[in-house]
Chain A
Amino acid sequence: MKEKDFQDNETLELFRKTGSGILMTTIDAVIDWGRSNSVWPLTFATSCCGIEMMATGASRHDFARFGIEVYRASPRQADVIVVAGTIVNKMAPVLKRLYDQMSEPRYVIAMGACAVSGGPFYYNSYHVVRGVDHVIPVDVYIPGCPPRPEALLYGVMQLQRKIKLETITRPEESMIMGRK
């Protein structure tokens, strides 16, 4: 296997242990702590998973306590796009345009079976994109149809772990796949 095939959090954290000196790692830790605990998503929900995302934001499984304080309606102000729902051929250019309008650092969570791989519409549908990673690069995949709110929270926590691996000394060589 090549080094770029290791993309899970446990391995990446192991690679990261050898790093730069004490000053840079402290600055990195502070910046990453700030960034990971304050990801603000874009309002984007196509179908059923959108309802579970709303339920996660409601009072029982509140995800404001994870830093997802407020939804931004404009892509220029958002940090993460949670693709909740099926993406079809007609919607794919719109999604790409929204992703391009987001400013760096930006992350993508693919929520639900439809966004991961086409889901129940994998066979025999003429209009569904089989997985949102055909359109934009994805950081975290959350399976389920629909995933429980606790699963979405776990996915957000994995994203926070991933963000904590970034370093400002080598931003072009970010450990996160697809990010340049």
Chain B
Amino acid sequence: MDNDSLKARILEIVPDVQQEENKQYLTLVVPAGRLHDLAGELRNTPDLGFDFLFCLSGVDYGKQLAVVYHLNSTAHKHSIVIKVKTDDRVNPAFDTVCDIWRTAEFHERETYDMFGIRFNNHPDLRRIFLDEEWKGYPLRKDYADEVNIVEF
């Protein structure tokens, strides 16, 4: 399926997505509340069939925190990028997708460790790389570590 028909199909499922223009893959920003439903539809609908989540990353855009999902369909060979954003930097939270794609379990733990983004209904949300007592979330842009990190 090409990008326009994909976008049309997804607009039928969730009408209020926005597209970000001029990106390598079709990039859609989804409201956080509809993420889980959309993810389920993307996986289970036969002509969309996105069964391979090949990258889940957190990004700190300065004011907003976002999670970016890169999806691919092994049957139809098309790819898409879904983003969810939030303005809440104190307690950011999204729904988990690890019941849909099992690889998300570890990736969401890593995003929690590095950015502090919580995932509702995750089976085992705890830090994966750093110690449990570590303070702060290192990959955020306002993480300050005067000893180790040199600011220009």
Chains A and B come from one and the same complex:
yes
Count the A residues whose beta carbon is within 8 Å of the partner chain — how many?
7
Query: With the chains together, A158 CA to B80 CA distance in Å?
Result: 58
Instruction: Check B131–A124 contact: CB distance below 8 A.
Output: no
B8 part of interface (Cβ distance < 8 Å): no
B4 CB–A CB distance under 8 Å: no
Task: Report whether B145 and A123 are in contact in the complex, using a CB–CB cutoff of 8 Å.
Answer: no
CA distance A127 to B129 in the complex (A): 10
B149 close to A (CB within 8 Å):
yes
A125 close to B148 (CB less than 8 A): yes
Contact of A124 with B138 in the complex, beta carbons under 8 Å: no
Size of the B side of the interface (Cβ < 8 Å), in residues, is 8
Query: Once the chains are docked, how many angstroms separate the CA of A90 from the CA of B132?
Result: 11
Q: Is residue B90 contacting chain A, with contact meaning CB distance below 8 A?
A: no
CB-CB under 8 A for A126 and B150, given A90-B130, A90-B131: no
Of all chain A residues, which has the CB nearest B148? A126
Check if B130 sits within 8 Å of A124, measured CB to CB.
no
Give residues of chain A (117-142) contacting chain B, Cβ–Cβ below 8 Å. Answer: 123-127
Bound-state CA distance A123–B148 (Å) is 7
Q: Is B138 within 8 A of A123, CB to CB? A: no
* Cβ contact within 8 Å between A123 and B150: yes
Determine the residue in chain B with the shortest Cβ distance to A118: B148
Within 8 A of B (CB), among A61-106: 89-90
Q: Is the CB of A126 within 8 A of B145?
A: yes
Which A residue sits closest to B151, measured CB to CB?
A124
For B148, the chain A residues whose CB sits under 8 A away are 124-126
Task: List B residues 116-137 near A (Cβ within 8 Å).
Answer: 129-131
Looking at the assembled complex, report how far the CB atom of A47 sits from the nearest CB atom of chain B, in whole angstroms: 15
Which residues of the partner chain B approach A125 to less than 8 Å between Cβ atoms? Answer: 148
The residues of A that contact B138 with a CB separation of less than 8 Å are: 126
Would you give the shortest CB distance from A62 to chain B, in whole angstroms? 37
Q: A90 to chain B: which residues have CB within 8 Å?
A: 129-131
Q: In the assembled complex, how far is the CB of residue B75 from the closest CB belonging to chain A, in whole angstroms?
A: 39
Residues of A contacting B131 in the complex (Cβ-Cβ under 8 angstroms): 89-90
A127–B150 CA distance with the chains assembled, in angstroms: 14
**A144-159 interface mask toward B, CB cutoff 8 Å, 1 = contact, 0 = none?**
0000000000000000
Q: A124–B149 Cα gap in the complex (Å)? A: 4
Question: Which residues from chain B contact A123 at a C-beta distance below 8 Å?
Answer: 150
Cα–Cα distance between A90 and B113 once the two chains are bound (Å):
14
CB-CB under 8 A from B149, the residues of chain A are: 124, 126
User: Which chain B residue lies CB-closest to A125?
Assistant: B148
Contacts of A89 in B (CB 8 A): 131
In the complex, 14 of the A-B residue pairs with CB atoms within 8 angstroms, ordered by the A residue number, are: A89-B131, A90-B129, A90-B130, A90-B131, A123-B150, A124-B148, A124-B149, A124-B150, A125-B148, A126-B138, A126-B145, A126-B148, A126-B149, A127-B130
- Kindly list 5 other residue pairs between chains A and B, CB separation below 8 angstroms, not including A90-B130, A124-B149, A126-B149: A90-B129, A90-B131, A124-B150, A126-B145, A127-B130
